[in-house]
Structure 1
Amino acid sequence: MTTAETNAPAIEKASWRPMIALFCAQILMSFNVAALPVSLGGMVDDFGVPPTTVSTAIVMYGIAVAALVMVGAKLGQRVGWVLIFRIVIGLFALAEVLMIFAPTVGWVIGAQALAGASAAIIVPALVALIAENYRGTQQATAIGSLGSARAISGFSAFFIGGALGTLVGWRPVFAILVVLAVVVFILSFSLRSDRGDSSIKIDIVGAVLIGLGIVLLTLGFNNLNAWGILEARPDAPFDILGLSPAIVFIVVGIVLGQAFFLWTRRRTKTGKVPLIALSVLRSSRERSAVYAMFIIVLLEAAINFTIPLYTQIVQGRTPFDTSLAMIPFNLTVFVTATLVVRFYRRYSPRTIGIFSFVLTTAALVWLSFVVTNNWETFPTILGLIVFGVGQGALVTLVFNVLVTASPKELAGDVGSVRGTTQNLASAVGTAFAGALLVTILGLNVGQAVIAHPDLPKSLTSQVDLDSVNFVSNDRLREVLSKTDATPAQVDAAVQINEDSRLNALRLGLLLLAGVSAVAIIPAVRLPRYRPHELPDPSPTASPSPSAPAAD
């Protein structure tokens, strides 16, 4: 037993009732995000739009959260966390009502923008209210429960959403969230928090810089395929000397992000309150935790978009089939996120982080070799389970590193960092997966069409096969039936499309494995100490002599 453990004062345990409200609020947000991919097929049929258009709703939610979460943290500090928490829960419920009655995909995108704006305040509120209501091991358990809530909502959203989507339709899925929002609002009366501080000022310049930067970054990544990776395509809204606006948006977004940090440092030096206290990222340990969080959430979003894309659009299967395909992954994430807290007293964050990224890398490499057009084979399920173990451990771990390294007063800032990172990563991951897979598919189909002896130029001029999006075999046969293609040529075209889709999936998974492998580098910089050895981060606390030196 360390000196820190011996001298630590006894902390009276608080009731878990307030945590029920926070747990359900996390489920509310995560269920909404997870329900969108499983509703992909239903929305495509309902609105008559391609799947990449529906994915814009997922991206829009992420944009709104990531762009506004830092402002949301300051609003919470100014108004008071409990009061503003109740207000935005009501707005979230309104967004779900819009989802239920949406007449077009534009309404869906708008509803998700409102849900994201609401979540931009809920996300930091969860962290701040946990810090207000819990201490010590209870706080670590509460933080871990948020990771569990994300996982269980993903599991339940795919299962319930798949069943309802198959039997009734995709809209009733979001009616569940209206009911859940009402429950969270009622439970919120068990929360306690300090009153707001009306003297807190919001840094408008910083808010514009980071908000606009995140919007441009996400729009750029989301439209890489439609607008062109380097050279502007005909569908691009404009071009700069032939250059795609997507890459321009990404570069300008990065520049604005750097400008935000420069402006924040300047504002801090002059004694003014910044939009976010950069002290929560003061060391390489905290920055490494943010990098690790970004990468693992990006990978999770890519997987959550890819599997429904293939099961519903490519294979033409039901949403319930999609839920069955996702159960091994989501259930594993839930169990791991719940149990990983038990390992904190035995292993350092660095050890757990490196091991987890090795698992996710190995799982993605494995999947790239064994995956077929059937997601229910044992090798594929095994790969998803291994990836789920690594993902579940990492999301809880890196969040815990950030919270335990900062004083309670900065809990809202930690929450805004978490919200910005996770939602930007989710939006970029979804957009990146879509652009990557469609680009690889286009290249594969284009090369195969040129090389195939049974597909003459007269046929390819009637159907632009080298720019085909992800479609089912039945849909492709329907398109080809309107041409003068012979049955043999139709079979050849369908076989090309089928082979190209599978090759695109395998290569895409292999590239994601490369991203996961790179993440081992920031994981090496995670703390070497275990959470119970961490000194009190409060500004008034003296350093514990037993705590290991920072590295």
Structure 2
Amino acid sequence: MAVRPTPGGADAGASGRPWPRRILAPLALAQFICSFAGSNMTVMINDISEDLDTSVQGVQVAITAFLLVMAALMIPGGILTERFGRKRCLVVGLAVYGVGALLSAVAPGLGVLILGNSVLEGVGTALLIPPVYILTTLLFTDLTDRARAFGAIMAMGGVGAAAGPLLGGLITSAISWRAAFVFQAVVVAVIIFLTRRIEDPLPADPARVFDTVGAVLSAASLVLVVLGILAADDNVWLTAGLLLAGGLVLTGFFGWVRARERAGAEPLLPTELFRNRVSNLGLLTQHTQWLVLMGISFVVATYLQVVRGYDAISTGVIFTASTVGLLASSLGAERFARRRQQRTLIMGGFAVTVCGIGLLIALSRISTKAWPSTPGLLLIGLGLGVMLTPSVNVVQSSFPERLQGEISGLSRSVSNLGSSVGTAVAGTILVADPAAGPYAVALVVLGVIGLGGLAAAARLPRTPAPTRHG
């Protein structure tokens, strides 16, 4: 089913009408603040652990739990978006997120912080992110314009993740770590104000069936897998048991989905989503990209603070290199899309990112100063910025309008699962003893995973060369 053009949508750019910034601004800002929340706490590790009388591992659990709640609930969030309306879910998600941010700002202990940051902000994000991608797909129908819109959104998302340590460090050093959560609440209030300009292009579907059993099974499988990774540094048998349980529950989820389809009932996710080879490869590259990004963010930030003794602002400043690289390459998404195949961009992005990880490892051995981290982080930012947008576009464009809710939820769930797994894997290796040896080991593991992403991208089909303009 073709997506219907809408006033002020993507075709505005192709037909000479003004580019709809009023629509794109709140969508991009929503992705920014959610990505910011996932990474800014990495520079607050010492401050939060001292203030709340907890440990580095306690803060890691809070960060990972936030990312995990997002991943576990993103698929159900995509279905609810279709049932209750895209704009309504966007606004409700923002409101829940804002309440969680304010609760985190006044948290007296780790438990309340987890409730506010990990649970409420995670639930809010799961509700608001699917509408961002569905609305973008529906409102921007021309391929180049959609690439431009996704480029802006992914640029803001990537900058939020990469600049989170810098902004979080600035706010923490100037005021306190609690003020960083107040900042999030203020940005959310601005986004809610800006969403008044957005019109939902399709009506809500109140009759849409919600597969509760499927939602529980999918969420449980993700939680068990990530918990298994987190437990790896304490108990190998517990890890094996959790991973096995996660695999069995996931198998049960797919069995449930097939049974509902055979019975003529609507499952949480239709099996046709998993039969598209191009989309599957695109999802794998998305998962790997965010795993590497969040894993590196946690590893470098923890190492600099715990081992090298840098404060929040110094750690954040070091991450400026990755922010600059990611912003520069993400903002070129439209130009890249006109000149290069999406497969080429994704492969090139992984290659540059892996080279950046290699530089981080090599240069960390020559000096105890901060500057050796800069070239590697810059390359990592450039590489990730090049491939974030084409990976999203590959997946979203693989399905018609009727499946945009499901694929958007699945896409974001896979990406956020990558973020949580990246933090869990990196933290499990590093937290036990964040010295030079484990630091290098964690980076090597992330580099090998990056090479796996490159191999997946290489299997994407070649497409006709885009038409060159100018």
Decide: shared fold, TM above 0.5. yes
Pick which of 368-377 and 425-434 moved more.
368-377
Question: Which residue is 1:171 aligned to?
Answer: 178
Question: Which residue is 2:439 aligned to?
Answer: 505
Q: Is the contact between residue 67 and residue 122 of structure 2 (CA under 8 Å) also seen in structure 1?
A: yes
Which of 418, 421, 441 is equivalent to 2:414?
Answer: 421
Partner amino acid, structure 1, of 2:224: L
Structure 2: 5+ residue stretches without partners: 1-10
Question: Which residue is 1:210 aligned to?
Answer: 218
Question: Which residue is 2:331 aligned to?
Answer: 338
Which of 115, 123, 142 is equivalent to 1:117?
Answer: 123
Deviation at 1:414, TM superposition (A): 2.1
Map 1:91-102 to 2 at 5 A: 91-102=96-107
Deviation at 1:397, TM superposition (A): 1.7
Distance 1:361 1:163 in 2: 29
Q: Is the contact between residue 285 and residue 391 of structure 2 (CA under 8 Å) also seen in structure 1?
A: yes
Question: Which residue is 1:451 aligned to?
Answer: none
Question: Which residue is 2:3 aligned to?
Answer: none
Distance 2:377 2:212 in 1: 43
Partner amino acid, structure 2, of 1:376: A
Distance 1:523 1:392 in 2: 15
Pick which of 507-516 and 101-110 moved more.
507-516
After superposition, give the CA deviation of every residue in 1:451-509 in whole Å (9 maximum; x if it has no partner). Answer: xxxxxxxxxxxxxxxxxxx4xxxxxxxxxxxxxxxxxxxxxxxxxxxxxx112212322
Deviation at 1:382, TM superposition (A): 1.2
Task: Percent identity, please.
Answer: 24
Q: Is the contact between residue 353 and residue 526 of structure 1 (CA under 8 Å) also seen in structure 2?
A: no
After superposition, give the CA deviation of every residue in 1:363-394 in whole Å (9 maximum; x if it has no partner). Answer: 222322221464622x4311111122211222
After superposition, give the CA deviation of every residue in 1:165-186 in whole Å (9 maximum; x if it has no partner). Answer: 1122111111111111111111
Aligned to 2:208, the other structure's residue is in SS state coil
Pick which of 77-86 and 263-272 moved more.
263-272
Partner amino acid, structure 2, of 1:127: Y
Distance 1:255 1:532 in 2: 43
Map 1:44-443 to 2 at 5 A: 44-111=49-116, 112-136=118-142, 137-193=144-200, 194-226=202-234, 228=235, 230=236, 244-372=237-365, 374=368, 376-377=370-371, 379-438=372-431, 441=433
Q: 1:123 to 1:531 in 2, by over 3 A?
A: farther
Q: Return the index of the structure with the highest Cα Rg.
A: 1
Structure 1: 5+ residue stretches without partners: 1-8, 231-243, 442-469, 471-500, 534-551
Distance 1:391 1:530 in 2: 24
TM-score by length of 2: 0.91
Distance 2:146 2:344 in 1: 22
Cα-Cα RMSD: 2.0
Distance 2:465 2:100 in 1: 39
Distance 1:156 1:381 in 2: 14
After superposition, give the CA deviation of every residue in 1:244-300 in whole Å (9 maximum; x if it has no partner). Answer: 222211111122223222322332344322212343343221111111111121111
Partner amino acid, structure 1, of 2:127: I
Q: 1:99 to 1:421 in 2, by over 3 A?
A: same
TM-score by length of 1: 0.78
Deviation at 1:42, TM superposition (A): 0.9
After superposition, give the CA deviation of every residue in 1:92-132 in whole Å (9 maximum; x if it has no partner). Answer: 10000011100001111111211111111111111111123
Count of equivalent residues: 450
Deviation at 1:424, TM superposition (A): 1.0
Pick which of 341-350 and 185-194 moved more.
341-350
Aligned to 2:203, the other structure's residue is in SS state coil
Aligned to 1:102, the other structure's residue is in SS state coil
Q: 1:530 to 1:248 in 2, by over 3 A?
A: farther
